[in-house]
Chain A
Amino acid sequence: MKTHTRWGLVLLIQVVVLGAIAALGICLGSTRVPLRAVLAAMGGHASEIDQSIILGIRIPRVALAFAVGGGLSLAGVLLQGMFRNPLVEPFTLGISGGAALGLCACVAFGVGSGLGALAFPAAGFVGAMATAVLVYGLGTRRGMLNIRDVVLVGVMVSFVCSSLVMLVMALARAEDLYGIVFWTMGSLEEPRRGLLAVALGVSVVALAAAYRLAVPLNALALGEDGAAHLGIDVERTKRLLFVLSALLTGVCVSVAGIIGFVGLVVPHVARLLVGRDHRILLVSAFLCGAGFLMLCDLVARTIVAPLELPIGVVTGIAGGTLFVYMLHRRQSPEGRL
């Protein structure tokens, strides 16, 4: 019972911190907007410039960081729990490689260019899903998803995809190259309304769906046999986890490009904060991921303003150093990681 109170408290703190980060993200930028103006804009009576900055640029951008950061981090927790391997992340399974390849095909060969501005995300999503299906198929034997095979196949598919991406880049025209490189570094800039809605919807619905799997995930910590002995339908759970995380990753990658590290590092940070019980970890990791990406995005667009750093660069540097620091500071070798 004490634990549940502690969980409630942790969530409350996280929500407050997240709110503060969101407020900062909306107020700060190339032009500063006071918080009062933000509230006014949301009520619909601010100056036209403020209105367009806040509602048209800042809020969508912060909302996208929320959806993508939360989504990637959640996918990471689900996969690490399912594989019982702390080094697995959404991109280990080759999903980002597939998205990149889909995008390359779109840029270099003009596949699906009829879709206009939606061509990039659509191509990324199709590529991501195609590799997910491929990895899932190759990792399944006699109707059972073999955890070890899936990781190995995922890593190999990743390699093949990145080689093919390099091949396409080597053959591509110079002006196409820029688009590919820029996209692979990830960006939260100017999301289209429709895409933003999809990303938000998918990550929030996925969080709710994932929560239904929190107890089975806890049981899976005992291994597949151990979970089965606790009455968990292990094959069904693995299938759902795979589909859920592939969908999350696919959507995040196709909307915001390849933003590495969130799905790998944030789940570990969340685990250090709240422990490894998935009933709190799932929500906590989602909120941590959302906050982390909002913060990274804020840094990316303010630190060398008016220029912007690619968001993937910031998450990589910040996430990597933060993680090594936390790991180093952790006292007991038996820690809860």
Chain B
Amino acid sequence: MLELENVSCGYAGGFALDGISLGIKPGELVGIVGPNGSGKTTLLRAASRSLRPRSGTVRIHGEDIWHQRPALLARTLAVVSQTADIVPMTVAEYVLLGRIPHYGHFQFLETHADWDIARRAMEMTECLPFKDHLMTAISGGERQLALIARALAQEPKLLLLDEPTSYLDIAHQVRLLDLIRRLNRELTLTVVMVMHDLNAASEYCERLVLMSHGQVRAVGEPDEVMDYQVLEEVYETVLVVGRNSISGRPCVFPVSEDVQKRRQSRHAASK
């Protein structure tokens, strides 16, 4: 579905991605995790044609994304990013923008079919109740849903999300991630999402990609990647890896400096 082969990307002075190779299979739900500045978002930008790699190739369906017509690519690949500008248009108008890649060459107005697809996208994401509200006047959770509805209106095969749960409380996080997993299963939509929250990533993703200093440090199921030695090395902090007692998925807890010190002194005393 999505292949990155030896991709290096850089901003002025230095590499943000350093020779990354990665393959995503159709129907997968993959989480990209890693510390700030490890290259997660850059990876997503490279995969979505927002950033041209200095070397290496990014392929979707076996074809270099830089050799595809942008409109055709946008019918396969949809992106939900946190940097998109929000303007005062209604949710329905916003979702309809997702039909643009499907417009014909001299088509200016959307058809009934476009409306139906946009409506279905809003139905799946539960946006219909607020479809006539302005994008600037809805809550953060509703806005995320609208962003995903717009992406679905593109009828993509591959959905890339950049930190879809940031700014959401835990209940809204669960609601959103449940939705994403449902879409992943019901539409056989391949999903790759950048996530800050290791626990949420472990709970929902089949496979995790752990990034560190512009390279892939570990790839695999949450059980393999969420190893405390690996995580402590990558995040450079003391961590405890436990297990969610209901789902059985690994989860991670931070340890504060005070506790670490107290523990060390107790160790010393007992010796």
Contacts and interface: CB of A to CB of B under 8 A. Distances in A.
B115 A1 contact: yes
B144 to A, nearest CB: 15
Contact of A226 (B69, B81, B115): B81
Is the interface on chain A under 10, 10 to 19, 20 to 34, or 35 or more residues?
20 to 34
Contacts of A279: 108-109
A335 interface: yes
A223 B85 contact: yes
B268 interface: no
Nearest to B109: A4
Interface stretch (B14-22, B53-61, B93-101, B182-190): B93-101
A222 B97 contact: yes
B103 A215 contact: yes
Interface in A231-256: 231-233
Contacts of B75: 231
A192 B121 CA distance: 56
A226 B112 contact: no
A231 B73 contact: yes
Interface string A202-220: 0000000001001100110
Contacts, number: 79
A222 B93 contact: no
A229 B71 contact: no
A54 B81 CA distance: 59
A229 B48 contact: yes
A84 to B, nearest CB: 7
A176 interface: no
Nearest to B137: A334
Given A211-B108, A229-B48, A334-B134, A222 B100 contact: no
A228 B50 contact: yes
Nearest to B111: A1
Interface in A287-335: 334-335
Given A4-B109, A334-B134, A232 B100 contact: yes
Interface in B98-150: 98, 100-101, 103, 108-109, 112, 115, 134, 136-137
B12 to A, nearest CB: 11
B89 interface: yes
B78 interface: yes
Interchain residue pairs A-B with the least CB separation, the first 9: A231-B74, A231-B71, A231-B101, A223-B85, A226-B84, A229-B79, A231-B70, A230-B100, A221-B87
